[in-house]
Amino acid sequence: MSQTRTYTISGIDCQHCALKIEKEVAKMNGIHDSSINIVQGRFDITYDDTLASRIDQTVMSIVRKIEKRAQIIPREQSSAHKKKFLTTYIVPLRVFLSVAILIVTHFLVTNNSLSLILYIAAYLISGYDVLYKAVRNILKGEWFDEQFLMSIATVGAFFISQYAEATAVMAFYQVGEFFQSKAVNHSRNAITALFEMKVDYADVLHGKKVERFPVEQVKIGDHIIVKAGEKFPVDVKITKGSTSVDLRAVTGESKPIPVKEGDTVVSGAINNSSVIEAQALRIWEDSNVAKMMRMVEDAGKRKAKTESFITRFSHYYTPIVVFSALFVALVMPLITSTPYQTWIYRALVFLVVSCPCALVLSVPLGIFAAIGSLSKSKVLVKGGSFIESMSKVDTIVFDKTGTITDGELRVRTVNSFDTSRLTEKMVHYFSASLEQFANHVISRAIVSSYNFDLSPRVEQVTEYPGRGIEGYVDGRKVAVGNLSFMKELGINESPEMETLNDCDIFMSVDSVIAGSIILEDSIKSGAKQTVDELRRLHVHDISIVSGDSGHNVEKVASLCGIDTFSARKLPEQKLKIVEEKMAKKKKNSFVAFVGDGINDAPVLTVSDIGISMGMIGSQSAVESSDIVIMGDDLKKIPLAIRKSRHAMTIIKENIFLAISIKILVMILSLFGLSTLWMAVFADTGVALLAVANSLRILRKSDM
């Protein structure tokens, strides 16, 4: 048996260091997987049960050997973890002291021996930790990392008497690393702001006594008290009182929503006005906030193709540049018959330039900046790969009920085909008796509209997804479903059935058609606007696939401006339609499916990108999808496309910026036109520019 352990890791802001830790931990016997997300400060390890008693100690030991400043603690203890003063300010203090000594030495000290001593002191103050890591890694056989490159370059500069430049370069490098760390933390804070919705404790009502328990201990059915101004700790149904709730943190809804007894409220919502009593519908692990947190936390496990490519690229890129530097230092003097000192300096520039940090860090940072920005808009993306895919969507297939329409169906008419046999009330009674055992918007509409006592004896209930339900109600065989379901059961059609073109549901009793229930639904306010915006974004293939009647689907499609639609489709038929579109799609383009129901889960899973409506959507639809719209707002789909495209554009800019500047400085160095200062800019400076460029994605959550 294997299990997964999650740690909070800090003090690591270099992707290369993270990769080394992952590799070293993965070498341990019994470790199946090791993954670090430096943007989220998260370290996931999958291991055998045999390591359970010593996994923490072993992992911490390995991490500290590779990165002395790293802090690693189990995720469940992370809330109590605080950064120490020295961890935050030691680097700026060291750099300030180093630069002060450098300036004094350069301008005031004339004694050569004293100057050398002071330069060495200034150099060691700012760079002792870099030298230590370089020596330690060399002893382990790890040559091509950032510390090694900076150490060789600056120590080499000392040997060719470039004392001031070597010291200043090391100090500037440390400044760049410090601000890079700050930038990563800024992105990390933006991404993890979602976690503030969690409530640590819940006030549980036991008789007349209120006791406070950790939210993880709340059980289904517990009665809890939520005071004005407090967040709902778990998903609940209000049992006493009325209030208004603030859902901005959950769905982005700006206006308070009034709620009363019988209404449900999701965790993370804020109680605005009065004390209420509510019953827990789910445990914390299954609550709305927990679900959102898991989605964001797990997003790092699915890397985008660009991110994976850059990681592989840097693995080969650095050694190539290092060997090129050796060629410049050792061979070029022989070819050109010029002094070794000149070419050694140029080779040192090569070494500093070769560090791939700007490439390796900016790509995942750009991806997670997009994920964080979209999470602010209540669009949860489950992985970086879906940001990249969403940027290339050119086909979208919509479900109808609960997706394009509100999903809150209402019973418009109940018809009895033979009132002498069954009244309209009895048609409604038999239908509601069966439908209370189903979980579908149609079922909920039929049951909620029956305003009489409903206490039947129901047996042998069987549900047929997308078609209907049958069973025995008070000893009579009852079936409720669409027309094709009635034909499937061998029930004879009635003349009345031919006149009800927009009828949603038929009901039979004892294998004889008895009546119908006509439902109505309303289109979401932003549906037409969403379709128009998608077309402006060059998503040309937009269609509806629904299990509803042709008349209803055609009406909705017409009002939304959608030309292509398919009606009366079973789940497997929906799946086939989406698979056909995926087979015909253009190269490097993707097909998205948008749905909300249990019936949509297979299509959401198979499609290139599955998008679910998170508030009204079923649990299975949310779990099966790749992107979740928490506010059920269709306008968030164009937003996700725009944000994804913006992120991928910035990532490409970063890659071009980093590679082009590095190559330019390398070329200039061959002709003696670049210095170590320029090399440090091409390394740390470009990394900072790439990080700053990535953070543009966070500045505006709506575009």
Tokens of 530: 């969403």
In 10 A of CB 488, how many CB atoms? 14
Given a contact cutoff of 8 angstroms between Cβ atoms, the answer to whether 156 and 123 are in contact is no
User: Could you tell me how far CA 167 lies from the centroid of its own chain?
Assistant: 42
Residues recognised as catalytic: 399
| d(C-alpha 142, C-alpha 136), whole Å | 9
| d(C-alpha 534, C-alpha 541), whole Å | 10
Rg of the chain over all Cα atoms, to the nearest angstrom: 32
Given a contact cutoff of 8 angstroms between Cβ atoms, the answer to whether 139 and 651 are in contact is no
Tokens of 100: 């002060």
Strand ranges for 496-600 from DSSP E: 505-509, 512-520, 541-545, 564-566, 590-595
Half-sphere exposure of 545 (CA within 13 A, CB side): 28
Question: Reading across the β-sheet that carries 541-545, which strands appear in turn?
Answer: 379-381, 627-629, 609-613, 590-595, 393-398, 541-545, 564-566
Residue in 462, 478, 460 with CA at minimum distance from that of residue 515: 478
Name the 3-class secondary structure at 576: helix
Given a contact cutoff of 8 angstroms between Cβ atoms, the answer to whether 464 and 485 are in contact is yes
Torsions phi, psi for 357 (to 5 deg): -55, -40
DSSP string, 68-95: TT-EEEEGGGGGG----HHHHHHHHHHH
Given a contact cutoff of 8 angstroms between Cβ atoms, the answer to whether 302 and 281 are in contact is no
